[in-house]
Amino acid sequence: MIVIPKRMTARMQEPFCLFLIGMRINRPLKIQKWWPVFRAMPRIMQELYQHPELGFISGHLWFGRTTIAVQYWKSFEALTRYAKRPDLAHLPAWAQFRRNIANSGDVGIWHETYLIAPGQYENIYHNMPTFGLGQASQPVEASGRLESAEGRVSPEMGRSRPDQESPPVKID
């Protein structure tokens, strides 16, 4: 990956969906329980990259005792359509988890879904290759009004005015 030696920010012109999903190995010695769940995550990501028509934009995987996938989707509807398709990787993996793990506590899974409107997020990448939302969108140089976090969040998109914000909290 090529490092971009300046401050960049990502801008999305349309609403998008941020999906975080992960697993936690609660009983490391029960490899036969967590290994199939662990293996499913990269297989699902590979499938998503091979089929952009599903509405997946981009994502990242981190592996460890707690494994996490960060995914950017064109919409919540695209995400849920994918999740429910029996001919794709997710639904069979979910069914296998429910059969093999159920409520045993051997492996934990979780997800969080965020629906995000243009201007309702901010980000910065400095001396980084394209990453995160910057990989899911067209990164632009963080200059002018985009130099500050406040400038990267659009007030016209529902953010409170400065006179409506809470005063800063003093930390001793």
pLDDT for res 23: 96
The secondary structure of residue 147, as a DSSP letter, is G
Instruction: Please tell me the distance from the alpha carbon of residue 160 to that of residue 148, in angstroms, as a whole number.
Output: 16
Residues 23 and 111: beta-carbon distance below 8 Å: no
pLDDT < 50 regions, the chain: 157-172
Say if residue 125 is in the same domain as residue 109. Answer: no
Q: Tell me: do 109 and 47 sit in the same domain.
A: yes
> Residue 78 belongs to what H/E stretch?
helix 76-84
96-114 burial, b for 16+ CB within 10 Å, e for fewer? ebeeebeeeebbeeeeeee
Please give the residue range of the domain that contains residue 52: 16-116
Give the number of domains in the chain.
Answer: 2
Question: Comparing C-alpha atoms, which of 106, 88, 86, 98 is closest to residue 35?
Answer: 106
Indicate whether 93 and 151 sit together in one domain: no
The whole-model pTM stands at 0.83
Amino acid at 99: R
